[in-house]
Chain A
Amino acid sequence: MRSLDNPMILREIILDHYEYPRNRGLTDDKDYIKINMNSETCIDDIDIQVKIEDGVIKDFRFDGEACAISTASTSILSELIKGKTLEEAKYIIEQYNNMIYEREYDEEILEEAIAFKNTSKQANRIKCATLGWNGLSQIIDEQKVGEPHD
C-alpha cells in the first residue's frame, strides 16, 4: 500500500495538525486582510488573516473555535500556500475542492492535504474540511476585484 493510502498515516497527519496547528494566532498588523468564517451549519468559527504583497501570499494566520477537521485542514492550507502567488494558490484550492468533491485532482500538489481525501464519505464533515479553504478563496476573489487590470 502506498503511504498516501494508509489511513493510519493520514490520521496521524490530521492529528498532528490538530494538536499543533501551524500559523495559529492572529496579528494586529494592519497589512493583513481579515475574514471571519463562521459556518452556518455547524459551530466552527475561525478568523483568517492573509498578507499579500505583489500578488504573493507572504503570510497566512488563523485562530478560532473549530473542530479537528477544520483546524487541521486550515493548518495544512496555511503551510501549502505561503509564498505562493495568488494564481498558484487558486490552483491548489481548486485541486483540493476537486478531491473533496470526488473529481480528478492533482495529488502531488496537495501534499499533506490529501489526508482529507476521505471527506466525501463523511458528507457531514465537508463543511469542516473546506471552511478555511473557502475563506482563502474568498479573500483571493476579492483581491481580483480590487486590483487594477494591466
Chain B
Amino acid sequence: MLDVEQVRKDFPMLSVSMHDHPLIYLDNGATTLKPQSVIQAICEYLSSYSANAHRGDYDLSHRVDETFENVRQKVANFIHAPKKENIVFTYGASDSLNLVAYGYGLTHLQEDDEIILSFQEHASNTLPWFDVSRQKGCRIQYVTLDQDGQITLEHIKETINEHTKIIAISHISNVLGYLNPIKEICQYAHQKGIIVVVDGAQSVPHMPVDVEELDCDFLAFSAHKMCGPTGVGILYGKLNLLEETSPTRLGGGSNSRYYKDGQVTLKKVPAKFEAGTPNIEGVIGLGSAIDYLTQLSMKEIHEYELSLRRYAVDQLLQLDNVIVYNPDAQGPIAFNIKGVFSQDAASLFNTYGIAIRAGHHCAKLLDNYLETNTTCRASLYFYNTREEIDQFIEICKKGDDFLDAFFG
C-alpha cells in the first residue's frame, strides 16, 4: 500500500501556501510537483559534475555521458521498450509529437492519404497533423466518440478506409480522461499497414505502460508530468520507424561527418535526432523521477489514484450544483459548477488555496461534443489525499458564492 503521508514528505511544494491556505494541488494534468530526490539529482549535476555530454575526453564529461545514457536505459525499462535506442530525448511531449508529424508524417504521407485523429486530442496531437496534411494534400478524419465520449475499436474500424495511413490518438485524454483501447487499435491498424502514434502524456505518469504489449509505433510523453523537470520529453519509436524518420533539427552531435559539398552522414538512431546540447540536467532529473516512481511502484500509484478519483467523483455526484462530465474515466475529472463560468469557479478555488484548471484544456475541438464550451478540470496524483478531496468538495458546495473570491 502506498503510504501517502510518508510520500508527501518528499515534496517540498506540499508545504507551500497559496492565498493564505495550505496548497491543495489538483492540476497534475498540467504539471506535477517534484520530490526532493529529483531536485537533488539536478543540483548535484549542476554543482558537482557539470560538463557537456557526448563531447569531452575528460573524467567529468565521461560521468555526464554515462549518467545521461543510463537515463535512456531507465526510460526504456520504465515503458518496457526493447532497447535504449528506441528512446529519443526531446523537449516535451509536444516536441515528440511534432517530431513524428514532421519527421515521419511529412516524409511518408502522400496526396489523398488520411490521418485519423479524435476530438479529445490535445492541440499538440492535432495542430502538427493539420499542418502536415495541408502541406501534403492529405485529409484529417475524426473518429466518432460514443455517448460518454469514449473511443471504441468499432468506431476506429468505421473511420478507417484504404486511404488511412496514420492514427494519432491519446492513450488517456487530458480532458475526458478515458483510457483508449490502444492495444486493440494497434492490432487492427497494423493488419491494414497503418501506423499508430500514441500521446502518452496523461497515461505514462499514472499507470504501468508496456509498449511491447500495446505494440504502438510511437509513444510521446513529458518528464514534467511524472515528477521530473520541464523541458524534457520522450519519444519512443519502433527502431525501423525511427530509422525512417528524418530529424527535424540538425546540428552538432547528430552527424558523424559532413563535407563542403553538402554531403552529411547522420549518426544512428537516436543520436541523429538529438542535435545540439541536450537538456542534460533535465534528463538527469527525469532519471531520478523514474527511480522515485519505480520505487513506489506504478501499479500501486495507479490503484491509489483510481480509488482517490472514485472517492472524489462519488462525492461530486451527490452535489446538485455540480455536473461531472466523465464520472467513469480514469484521468482528470471534468466538471462544472452549475451557473458558474469555469474561470470564476477556478478563481473561487484559488481563494481557498486549491489549484484547479479552467478552460478548453488545449482540446478546443471537444466543445461541440460536451455541449459546454469550457470546463473545470481537477487532476489528481498519488500525493493527493482524501482530506484534500474533502476540502475541494466543500468549496464546490460554495459555488454560488463565487464572487466572494473576488472580494476575498
A67 touches B407 (CB 8 A): no
Closest chain B residue, CB of each to CB of A129:
B406
User: Do B406 and A43 have beta carbons less than 8 Å apart?
Assistant: no
Interface centre among A10, A68, A118, A125 (most CB of B within 10 A): A68
Known: A66-B341, A67-B341, A122-B347. Is A15-B406 also a contact (CB below 8 A)? no
Cβ-neighbour of A122 out of B358, B373, B405 (below 8 A): B405
B343 CB contacts on chain A under 8 angstroms: 42-44, 67, 128
Q: Is B342 positioned at the interface, with any CB of A under 8 Å from its CB? A: yes
If the complex has contacts A43-B358, A43-B359, A65-B374, are A118 and B407 also in contact, measured as CB distance less than 8 A?
Answer: yes
- Please tell me if the beta carbons of B403 and A14 are within 8 angstroms of each other in the complex: yes
Find out whether the CB atom of A122 lies under 8 angstroms from the CB atom of B406: yes
Min CB–CB distance A9 → chain B (angstroms): 11
Nearest 3 CB-CB pairs, A to B?
Answer: A67-B343, A7-B407, A43-B359
B350, CB-defined interface residue at 8 Å: yes
Cα distance A124–B360 in the bound complex, in angstroms: 18
Q: How far is the CB of A129 from chain B (nearest CB, A)?
A: 9
B402: CB under 8 A from chain A? Answer: yes
- In the complex formed, the residue of A with least CB distance to B403 is A11
B344 at interface, CB cutoff 8 A: yes
Nearest CB of A to B403, in Å: 5
- Residue numbers of A with Cβ under 8 A of B are 7, 10-11, 14-15, 42-44, 65-69, 118-119, 122, 124-125, 128
Q: Which of B373, B403, B408 has most A Cβ within 10 Å?
A: B403
The count of residues in chain B whose C-beta lies closer than 8 Å to any C-beta of chain A is: 18
Residue in A43, A69, A119, A124 whose beta carbon sits within 8 Å of that of B342 in the complex: A43
Cα of A22 to Cα of B408 in the assembled complex, Å: 26
From B342, B359, B360, B406, contact of A125 by CB (8 A): B406
CB distance from A70 to the nearest CB of B (A): 8
**With a CB–CB cut-off of 8 A, which chain A residues contact B408?**
122
From the candidates B342, B360, B405, B407, name the one contacting A10 in the complex (CB within 8 A).
B407
Contact: A68 with B407, CB < 8 Å? no
Q: Mark B321-361, 1 if CB is under 8 A from A, else 0.
A: 00000000000000000000111100100100000001110
Contact: A69 with B407, CB < 8 Å? no
Give Cα A10 to B404, complex, Å: 11
Docked pose: A44 CA to B343 CA in angstroms: 8
C-beta contact mask, B385-408 vs A, less than 8 Å → 1, else 0? 000000000000000001111111
CA distance in complex: A69, B340 (Å): 12
Could you tell me which residues of chain B, from 257 to 286, have a CB within 8 Å of some CB in chain A?
none
A42 / chain B contacts, CB cutoff of 8 Å: 343, 358-359
Can you give 18 A-B contacts (C-beta < 8 A)? A11-B404, A11-B406, A14-B406, A42-B343, A43-B342, A43-B343, A43-B359, A43-B374, A65-B373, A66-B341, A68-B406, A69-B344, A69-B406, A118-B407, A122-B347, A125-B347, A125-B406, A128-B343
Query: Could you give, for residues 290-323 of chain B, a 1 whenever the CB lies within 8 Å of some chain A CB and a 0 otherwise?
Result: 0000000000000000000000000000000000
Expressed in whole angstroms, the minimum distance between the Cβ of B334 and any Cβ of chain A is: 14
Kindly state the separation between the CA atoms of A119 and B358 in the bound complex, as whole angstroms. 19
Complex Cα–Cα for A39 and B402 (A) = 21
Q: Within the assembled complex, what's the spacing in Å between the Cα atoms of A125 and B347? A: 8
* Cα A77 to Cα B344 with chains together (Å): 20
What residues of chain A lie closer than 8 Å to B373, measured between beta carbons? 43, 65
Q: Which A residues are CB-close (under 8 A) to B406?
A: 11, 14, 68-69, 118-119, 122, 125
Q: Which residues of B contact A11 (CB under 8 A)?
A: 403-404, 406-407
Contact B344 A43 (CB under 8 A): no
Give the distance to chain B from A41, nearest Cβ to Cβ, in Å: 10
Beyond the given A14-B403, A125-B347, could you list 7 further A-B residue pairs with CB under 8 A, ordered by the A residue number?
A7-B407, A43-B360, A43-B373, A65-B373, A68-B403, A69-B406, A119-B406
Known: A14-B406, A15-B403, A122-B347. A68 touches B359 (CB 8 A): no
What separation, in Å, do the CA atoms of A44 and B373 have in the docked complex?
A: 11
Report chain B residues within 8 Å CB of A67.
341-344, 347
A38–B358 CA distance with the chains assembled, in angstroms: 15
- Scan residues 168-194 of chain B and give those whose CB is less than 8 A from a CB of chain A: none
Minimum C-beta distance from A55 to chain B (A):
35
- List the A side residues contacting B358 at CB < 8 Å: 42-43
Closest chain B CB from A65 CB (angstroms): 5
Q: Is the CB of B360 within 8 A of A68?
A: no
Beyond A66-B341, A67-B341, whether A124 also contacts B347 by CB under 8 A is yes
Q: What is the chain B residue whose CB lies nearest that of A15?
A: B403
CA distance A105 to B307 in the complex (A): 53
Q: How far is the CA of A118 from the CA of B408 in the complex (A)?
A: 9
* Residues of the A chain whose Cβ atoms lie less than 8 Å from the Cβ of B402: 68
- Taken residue by residue from 1 to 28, chain B's Cβ proximity to chain A (1 for < 8 Å, 0 otherwise) reads as 0000000000000000000000000000
A-contact bits for B355-370, CB 8 A (1 contact / 0 none): 0001110000000000
